Amino acid sequence: MEKQYRQTIIAGNWKMNMLASGVKGFVEELTPLVPGYKKWCEAVVCVPFVMLPAALKAFNSGGIGVGAQNMSEHASGAYTGEVSAAQLSDLGVGYVIIGHSERREYYGETDASVNKKVLAALASPLRPIVCVGESLEQRKTGVTNDLVALQVKTALNGVSIEDIRRVIIAYEPIWAIGTGMTATPEDAQDVCREIRKVLGLLYNYETARAVTIQYGGSMNEKNAFDLLAQTDIDGGLVGGASLKPELFAAIINAANQR
């Protein structure tokens, strides 16, 4: 199977939930539920900025990666309230979510700004998790593949063939985020396959097959196995289910299909 050429990554996105004081207890509950998980996947938890020190201390002891949920496109300067890639890396953060649909909808992020953030992340040791996806209206009008292709091409503008393997693409249909609705495994696979085709056109076949593509749209303990069994789905960007150790553990364990 072609999945042997790429890494399976299960990433939790805690959004604006939890408290720093609760991180240690979460890790203590999660760790015994995922014995030996590193044999089949990388696990990551992306937390709010204020929780990063606590998360780094607690999760790293169990080998789980820590990511941020956003970052600035700027390296430094007079940008009050922003956080740079260098500042995240200096803490020990390894991943950063870029272009989540909530950032696009509520804070005006665009494909162009996403591209700037991707390039800024790749100028540091961070691995960007780049989110793309369509609304329900866009899906109904049949433009999903064209729209997602455009988002991918714009986000990766200027990304070298050497750096693209550090990028993780997360397909997150907007209509399925936090709604309980989920793309069928077949529908999710269709879009993820198209994303890989775009990567092949931008780079080459060997490079495209090495890039991790996640599904992120209400993945949970019930549907994770079938979603992760799809040829071009290499992991998940998990929202609500990542807030409960037993549910997050079930998804991590569902990735054990090799």
Provide the pLDDT confidence category of residue 4 given band limits of 50, 70 and 90. confident
pLDDT at 235 over 80: yes
pLDDT at 112 over 80: yes
pLDDT at 182 over 80: no
Rounded to 5 degrees, φ, ψ at 125 are -75, -5
Provide the pLDDT confidence category of residue 186 given band limits of 50, 70 and 90. very high
pLDDT digits (tens, 9 = 90+) for 41-93: 999 999 999 999 999 999 988 899 999 999 999 999 999 999 999 999 999 99
The pLDDT assigned to 166 comes to: 98
Provide the pLDDT confidence category of residue 104 given band limits of 50, 70 and 90. very high
Strand partners, 45: 12, 66
pLDDT at 218 over 90: no
pLDDT at 245 over 90: yes
Q: What would the two tokens of residue 160 be?
A: 């070298």
The pLDDT assigned to 2 comes to: 82
Write the Ramachandran bin of 110: left for phi over 0, alpha for psi from -120 to 50, otherwise beta: beta
pLDDT at 1 over 70: no
> Rounded to an integer, what distance in angstroms lies between the CA atom of residue 225 and that of residue 62?
23
Catalytic, out of 42, 73, 100, 109: 100
Is 74 a known active-site residue?
no
> Rounded to an integer, what distance in angstroms lies between the CA atom of residue 129 and that of residue 19?
23
Strand partners, 235: 9
> Rounded to an integer, what distance in angstroms lies between the CA atom of residue 88 and that of residue 127?
11
The pLDDT assigned to 258 comes to: 65
Which has the closest alpha carbon to 128: 78, 73, 52, 173? 73
Catalytic, out of 42, 73, 134, 172: 172
Region 140-156: what's the mean pLDDT? Answer: 95
Region 152-171: what's the mean pLDDT? Answer: 98
The pLDDT assigned to 60 comes to: 86
Region 107-115: what's the mean pLDDT? Answer: 97
Q: What whole-number percentage of the chain has pLDDT above 70?
A: 99
Instruction: Name every residue whose Cβ is closer than 8 Å to that of residue 89 and which is 6 or more positions away in sequence.
Output: 124, 125, 126
CB 197 within 8 A of CB 169: no
Q: How many domains does the chain have?
A: 1
Instruction: Name every residue whose Cβ is closer than 8 Å to that of residue 130 and which is 6 or more positions away in sequence.
Output: 98, 99, 114, 118, 152, 155, 156, 167, 168, 169, 170
When the pLDDT of each residue in the chain is averaged and rounded to a whole number, the result is: 95
Which has the closest alpha carbon to 68: 111, 123, 13? 13
CATH number of the domain that residue 73 is part of: 3.20.20.70
- Tell me the residue range of the domain where 172 lies: 2-254
Quote the pTM value: 0.96
